[in-house]
């Protein structure tokens, strides 16, 4: 049963109000469905908008933020369960431990770093949690095409490519995380291959 969702998203709002609307809607739906938000603990950008929406609608939020970011006043002062870590690595590990599913909204380097690390952990069989991208304004179109190229060129197993589920709305994302994710194919090379 899904009780907590880790959401990766930008520390910026982006250049179009659709990104803000998606974060606000996801936050409201999570609160209405008693789904705890686990996120990077920030008060700025889509992170802050998402957390504010969950809190505004009476939901639970767990933020995880490295001390060096929190001391720069980036931490969300309205999140009661705000946990400080010593590093970005520890932050990502704790966020994964605290969630039952992962959703990615639009974001930059940090969002992609978190997304690809959690996908790699799934590929290695370290977790079996559903992973969904919300493809607002077709933001992830080129990334999804690149994943297909990775399969075509033999660098990504087709079964593992299917870890990345795609939704176009927050409501669709919440439906997708309720379905069992594919199992990892962890054998890349067979005897005699190089």
pLDDT 10s digits, 48-58: 999 999 999 99
Q: What's the confidence (pLDDT) of residue 72? A: 84
Look at residue 184 and tell me if it is in a domain.
Answer: no
Domain count of the fold of the chain: 1
Look at residue 126 and tell me if it is in a domain.
Answer: yes
Q: What's the confidence (pLDDT) of residue 79? A: 97
Query: 61 near 37, Cβ under 8 Å?
Result: yes
Task: Count other C-beta atoms under 10 Å from residue 57's C-beta.
Answer: 14
Tell me the CATH number at 21: 3.40.50.450
Look at residue 24 and tell me if it is in a domain.
Answer: yes
Look at residue 86 and tell me if it is in a domain.
Answer: yes
Both tokens of residue 47? 């992170």
Q: What's the confidence (pLDDT) of residue 181? A: 75
Look at residue 186 and tell me if it is in a domain.
Answer: no
Q: What's the confidence (pLDDT) of residue 179? A: 86
Look at residue 188 and tell me if it is in a domain.
Answer: no
Q: What's the confidence (pLDDT) of residue 73? A: 72
Distance CA 176, CA 16 (A): 25
The structure's pTM equals: 0.94
Q: What's the confidence (pLDDT) of residue 21? A: 98
Distance CA 20, CA 115 (A): 20
Look at residue 142 and tell me if it is in a domain.
Answer: yes
The angle formed by the CA atoms of residues 47, 139 and 21, to the nearest 5 degrees, is 45
Residues of the chain short of pLDDT 70, as ranges, are 184-194
Look at residue 190 and tell me if it is in a domain.
Answer: no
Owning domain of residue 173: 4-177
Q: How many residues does the chain have?
A: 194
């Amino acid at each position: 049963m899904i009780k907590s969702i880790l959401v990766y998203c930008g520390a910026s709002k982006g250049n179009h109000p659709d990104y803000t609307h998606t974060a606000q809607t996801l936050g409201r739906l999570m609160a209405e469905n008693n789904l705890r938000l686990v996120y990077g603990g920030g008060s700025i950008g889509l992170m802050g908008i998402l957390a504010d929406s969950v809190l505004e609608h009476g939901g639970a939020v767990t933020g995880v933020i490295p001390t060096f970011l929190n001391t720069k006043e980036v931490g969300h002062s309205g999140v009661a369960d705000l946990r400080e870590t010593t590093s970005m690595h520890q932050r990502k590990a704790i966020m994964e431990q605290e969630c039952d599913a992962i959703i990615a909204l639009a974001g930059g380097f940090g969002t992609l770093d978190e997304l690809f690390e959690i996908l790699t952990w799934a590929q290695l069989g370290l977790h079996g949690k559903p992973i969904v991208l919300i493809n607002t304004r077709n933001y992830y179109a080129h990334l999804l095409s690149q994943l297909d190229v990775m399969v075509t060129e033999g660098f990504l197993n087709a079964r593992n490519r299917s870890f990345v589920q795609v939704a176009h709305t927050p409501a669709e994302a919440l439906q997708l995380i309720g379905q069992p994710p594919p199992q990892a194919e962890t054998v890349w090379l067979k005897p005699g291959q190089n």
